[in-house]
A = this chain, B = another copy of it.
């Protein structure tokens, strides 16, 4: 059996949902369906999740934005009408939204999570009803009923182990099950959402729990590209990748698949196939545990902007046992998570995402570093970008580093930072954001042309 997940653009309107139905019904292995909230119908359109967030924020400021509310209700109603669904389907969606709105008005804990989850929940109601109306045996299954138990934590829920056993019981149900993605419930019954884009995570958890033969992830591209098409025109498509390669690529700018979503599938060694709802006959990209050795060791180039470098130097730092730990402790105390911490002899850099260090925190952090660590210098360098080249076996292949470094030189880009040696499947380079585009193009030219 297959678990099939459809992304927001696959559920953006009635015609897309018709494609979804056709894909599900064309393969009887496709027994469990996980859905995102309705996405953009056209460039410039707003995703339902963004509308729900804006609605929630307007309520929190004490002045609910009725126009947004109407827009959300209308989107679901229009789809229900175009799909010729009974009136009560759109009413059920609206009732759930109204219920969540009340929670936000009462400032209940996690009320915003409940409101955000209405997008996926509505999609699941529409899709299950539509399959049913077309004669398929299909049911809406709430994540609570399915047994998706999570632990609440900053940055998004984490699945609990007991979920997988409970999910396995769904195998006994002899119909197509449609589950809304993006959220689960704590053991105390509280609805909590995963991090943004978390429907991929739900799909992966469900596939792992059900021990599915495959997890199909339908999106709006034929396959995963080896580089962000923003930088390179019509880049090479990837037919296969390992889990580790995909996880590293997803981390830095490969938004096609949520960077945490792979792990549950990976743990159960369930192949993941990325496919296109608008072109379902294309083979897509298959993500598996192992692959026969390939000719080129570099399979992809990922990149992301918005990093900063916190640089600290101190005379005889390397004599001071505990210096690095105390620097990281200050960041932790202030709730600032970091990405990397390369160090020299008398200096240390901490790379972090800019949004993790807003100006008010920056001041506190810099002050504490100066006072508590008695450093000689603290400096913050902004507008950094990170580029990762990814591929199994890469770090044991002589010459990859030199080809990459030559690519940077040919693009006339200075490498501000190199972080290589921890991950076995990637090599990371820091450059100024203004150089990102030409650096990525030169790397693509070097490894893929």
Residues of chain A touching chain B, judged by Cβ–Cβ distance below 8 Å, are 154-155, 158, 247-248, 251, 259-260, 263, 267, 309, 311, 315-316, 318-319, 321-322, 324-325, 328-329, 331-332, 335, 337-349, 395-399, 401-402, 404-406, 408-409, 412-423, 426-428, 430
Residues in B neighbouring A337, C-beta threshold 8 A: 318, 321
B415 touching A409 by the CB < 8 A rule? no
B412 touching A401 by the CB < 8 A rule? no
A344 touching B426 by the CB < 8 A rule? yes
> Chain B nearest CB: distance from A114 CB in Å?
23
> Chain B nearest CB: distance from A321 CB in Å?
5
Residues in B neighbouring A412, C-beta threshold 8 A: 398
Partner of A413, one of B344, B398, B408, B419: B398
> Chain B nearest CB: distance from A319 CB in Å?
6
Partner of A329, one of B325, B345, B346, B349: B325
A316 touching B158 by the CB < 8 A rule? yes
Known: A405-B406, A406-B402. A332 touches B342 (CB 8 A): no
B349 touching A316 by the CB < 8 A rule? no
A418 touching B398 by the CB < 8 A rule? no
Residues in B neighbouring A349, C-beta threshold 8 A: 421-422
Residues in B neighbouring A413, C-beta threshold 8 A: 398
Residues in B neighbouring A426, C-beta threshold 8 A: 344-345
Chain copies in the assembled complex: 2
Report 12 cross-chain contacts, Cβ distance below 8 Å, ordered by A residue.
Answer: A155-B319, A322-B328, A324-B341, A325-B332, A328-B328, A340-B342, A340-B343, A395-B414, A402-B406, A415-B421, A418-B427, A421-B430
Alpha-carbon gap, A251 to B324, bound state (A): 18
A332 touching B338 by the CB < 8 A rule? no
Residues in B neighbouring A344, C-beta threshold 8 A: 248, 419, 422-423, 426, 428
A341 touching B343 by the CB < 8 A rule? yes
Given contacts A340-B343, A342-B342, 13 further A-B contacts (CB under 8 A): A158-B319, A267-B315, A309-B421, A318-B337, A325-B331, A325-B332, A343-B422, A344-B419, A346-B423, A347-B423, A399-B409, A405-B405, A419-B421
A247 touching B401 by the CB < 8 A rule? no
Residues in B neighbouring A346, C-beta threshold 8 A: 247, 423
